Structure 1
Amino acid sequence: MADTTGPISTLPGAHHSVPAGVMCDDHPDRPATHRVQGETDSFGCELIDMCDECHGEWKAYRDTPQGGVCDWCGKHADKLRPRRDYEEGMYGRVYDVCVPCITRANQEAEEELERSGWYD
């Protein structure tokens, strides 16, 4: 069965080490060879234990663009990515964000660092 964590700074899709003797969540007769971070929020995340077959299926799903409404701008996007708000910290809520919003947030953060002189 999948494991859960407390607050965690990594995002969904992150890989974690598989403890010895852990079996695949979907195929209890197969050993898990991959542990992938699933649903994540400010309280922690679910870790999904997968055999090679399940991991291949997960990668195919992950590589298929998942569209929807951006949590930051409210516009529809063909591809959303998991993202945290810098101001909320590394353990804050995970948002589904479009690429233009991520680009804008990165530019704003870079400009702020340049103004602060931290880059020098």
Structure 2
Amino acid sequence: MADVTGPISTLANSSHEVPDGQTCDDHPDRPAVARIQGETDSFGCEMNDMCAECADKHRAYLRSPEAAEHRKGTCEWCKKPADDLRDRRDYEEGMSGRVYRVCGICVKKENDELAAEERARGDDHDDFDGDYDD
């Protein structure tokens, strides 16, 4: 683990810029070519610095049957079993609030609700495009 952050809005497995001169967490004699966000919660996250070999292994794991098993379980929002769980935040709790394991149906439902809210709001919620009198 190369770095621990404070509260952060991105989620686990997000890619970040590798600091100059950073070495691999597992192979300190090799330069890091990837910085991948690890375990994430409302307090922050771990950043994992990886050499090319470790980054390739990590990417292979994400496509593996073992990773697919990790995506199975009970959705924390609808409480139903799912095989497509992913990390998600409740936007009403803030961009660095608790991380939930949420199914695809709940993600789609929330995205649809947010899109409908945006459409209903129209173009009056910003101060661009000359919407306001000077």
- Aligned length, in residue pairs: 120
Structure 1 counterpart of 2:6: 6
Shift of 1:117: 2.9
Shift of 1:38: 0.8
Q: Which runs of 5+ in 2 are unaligned?
A: 126-134
Shift of 1:113: 2.1
Query: Following TM superposition, where does structure 1 have runs of at least 4 consecutive aligned residues deviating by more than 6 angstroms?
Result: none
Shift of 1:118: 4.3
Question: Bigger shift: 70-79 or 98-107?
Answer: 70-79
Instruction: Give the aligned CA root-mean-square deviation in angstroms.
Output: 1.8
Q: Deviations over 1:3-49 (max 9, x none)?
A: 01111111111111111222211122221110001111111111001
Could you tell me how far apart the structure 2 residues matched to 1:80 and 1:117 are?
32
Residue 118 to residue 68, structure 1, CA distance change in 2 (3 Å): farther
**Bigger-Rg structure (1/2):** 2
Q: Deviations over 1:62-94 (max 9, x none)?
A: 224222221111222112111111211211111
Shift of 1:51: 0.8
Shift of 1:119: 7.8
- 1:59 matched to 2:59: yes
Shift of 1:106: 0.8
Structure 2 counterpart of 1:107: 112
Structure 1 counterpart of 2:84: 79
Provide the secondary structure at the position in 2 that maps to 1:109: helix
Contact 1:3 1:47 in 2 (8 A): yes
Structure 2 counterpart of 1:19: 19
- 1:49 matched to 2:49: yes
- Read off the aligned partner of 1:14 and give its amino acid letter: S
**Of Structure 1 and Structure 2, which has the larger fraction of its residues in strand?**
1
Q: Which runs of 5+ in 1 are unaligned?
A: none
Identical positions, percent: 57
- Read off the aligned partner of 1:37 and give its amino acid letter: Q
Contact 1:113 1:119 in 2 (8 A): no
TM-score (norm 1): 0.89
